[in-house]
Amino acid sequence: MHTRRIGDVEVSSIGLGGMPMSIEGRPDEERSIATIHAAIDAGVTLIDTADAYHRDADEVGHNETLIAKALASHDRGGDVLVATKGGHLRPGDGSWTLDGSPRHLKEACEASLSRLGVEAIGLYQFHRPDHRVPYEESVGAVRDLLDEGKILRAGISNANPDQIRLANEVLGGRLVSVQNQFSPAFRSSEPELRLCDELGIAFLPWSPLGGISRAGELGSAHAPFARIAEKHGVSPQQVCLAWMLAKSPVVVPIPGASRPETIRDSLAAADLVLAEDELAELDAA
């Protein structure tokens, strides 16, 4: 597996997104753990999660707990950087709410530490801006966690360029990652990607294949990805991830998966080299 950097640590150039294993439509625990183990066996050393990745109101942190169990039962689980997030909540009725208050973020981090069973979280990211709380106050809580050694690296998610610059300033230049939505169907995060490239900050596209319900339709929805996939004898999903990797060395896609075969297919994209004319066609698609 090829590697890229998030701050001071090297990780696999493609990570695993844990969300599909814990929300609506999730598989049973056995299949989820098999999926995580398959990812590690294939070279994954980055797994993305969040305390909000759960289905019911009484199971906050379901995905963190699942990942901790899977890592503990794999002989290379200790080599994986777990990136988790705080500041988003799921009341249990299918909706998503926000709490970016410093108090909540610090309490959420403590709870994540406990569920993950670690003394310090490898990468902690502020999940989504809360319009009721000044952004610098939310990021300031993450800075405090970093200074206290509760987290080893700090990131943000769902941020615009101004928020990226502000977060890096509040963190004293220690912002290591930005996790934004980016896919063939959702390209409005191009400015954030370019800024991360300029600043040397890892850019982690979430839902890079279009989301849980649409990932399988990527080829039919975006014909150039299907044509180039057929030419190379690979899946449109592999072409999509290879296209993203070619955009900048700071890009580390985190495709979600809930089946071993799905994550294995995604990870093969790390070895797929697309020609310049193919990349240009995909950019214009």
pLDDT of residue 94: 84
pLDDT of residue 111: 98
pLDDT of residue 219: 82
What is the number of alpha carbons within 13 Å of residue 276 lying toward its C-beta? 0
Class of the domain covering 1-217+247-272 = alpha beta
pLDDT of residue 104: 98
Catalytic residue numbers read 53
The answer to whether the CB of 81 falls within 8 A of the CB of 11 is yes
Contacts of 92 (CB under 8 A, 6+ apart): 55, 56, 57, 58
pLDDT of residue 263: 96
pLDDT of residue 214: 78
Q: What is the mean pLDDT of each run of 10 residues along the chain (285 residues)?
A: 96 97 95 98 98 95 98 97 97 91 98 98 98 98 98 98 98 98 95 98 96 80 94 97 98 97 96 97 94
pLDDT of residue 212: 78
Give residue limits of the domains in the chain: 1-217+247-272
| Structure token digits, residue 193 | 């990607």
